[in-house]
């Protein structure tokens, strides 16, 4: 088990390999489809982004309403491929990691190699468990987007798996290949 704290350094990212289990702590930002479109608009117009990207991690999630006494409601991962069009531009600006579920496209994997970064997979269907790892939540941009607004979360040991590493190794592809090999014996 690898313990990491944000912001992530290039050295930390390069030490990770597809399939590694990670407990992530520190601040991360949430952003989903609508927020990514607005970030691309900011980049295109030369406007500043609502959060620093250098060494940061974006969690593709939109938490549910916050219950009394809790920092956040359930907060499960969103399907990552929906952010593929925006991800390379954010990685080029220093983003070091993203959290979501499902596979990534070839362009994102190439961008992760060009700008050392990592894709962490979170367990889908475990949104309540994920929420238990959030100690603070604050909306920092685009409140009008509701659950899709950009939020800063403070995490304590969020369990993740390195799905794609900075070398282009993909845990999904490696797992499928191992399975096919095992049934072929």
Q: What is the CATH number of the domain that holds 156?
A: 3.20.130.10
Catalytic annotation on 21?
A: no
Per-residue confidence (pLDDT) for residue 179, from 0 to 100? 65
d(CA 38, CA 40): 5
**Phi, psi of 170, rounded to the nearest 5 degrees:** -115, 115
Q: What is the percent of the chain with per-residue pLDDT over 70, rounded to a whole number?
A: 97
Q: Tens digit of pLDDT for each residue in 75-126?
A: 999 999 999 999 999 999 999 999 999 999 999 999 999 999 999 999 877 8
Domain count, the chain: 1
Average the pLDDT over 34-50 and give the result. 97
Which residue range(s) make up the domain with 122? 2-183
Which regions of 31-165 does DSSP assign to beta strands (E)? 57-59, 97-100, 118-121, 134-141, 150-164
CA atoms of 185 and 126, how far apart (whole Å): 34
pTM of the model: 0.93
Active-site residue identified among 3, 17, 21, 36: 36
């Amino acid at each position: 088990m690898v313990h990491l704290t944000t912001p992530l350094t290039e050295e930390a990212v390069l030490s990770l390999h597809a399939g590694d289990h990670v407990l992530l702590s520190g601040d991360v930002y949430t952003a989903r489809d609508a927020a990514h479109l607005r970030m691309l608009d900011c980049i295109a117009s030369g406007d500043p982004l609502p959060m620093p990207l250098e060494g940061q991690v974006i969690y593709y999630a939109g938490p549910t309403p916050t219950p009394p006494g809790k920092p956040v409601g359930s907060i499960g991962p969103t399907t990552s491929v929906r952010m593929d069009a925006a991800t390379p531009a954010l990685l080029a600006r220093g983003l070091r990691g993203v959290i979501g579920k499902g596979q990534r496209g070839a362009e994102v994997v190439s961008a992760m190699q060009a700008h050392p970064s990592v894709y962490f997979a979170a367990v889908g269907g475990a949104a309540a468990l994920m929420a238990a790892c959030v100690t603070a939540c604050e909306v920092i941009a685009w409140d009008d987007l509701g659950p899709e607004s950009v939020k800063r979360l403070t995490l304590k040991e969020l369990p993740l798996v390195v799905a794609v590493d900075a070398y282009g190794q993909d845990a999904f592809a490696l797992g499928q290949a191992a399975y096919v090999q095992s049934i072929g014996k």
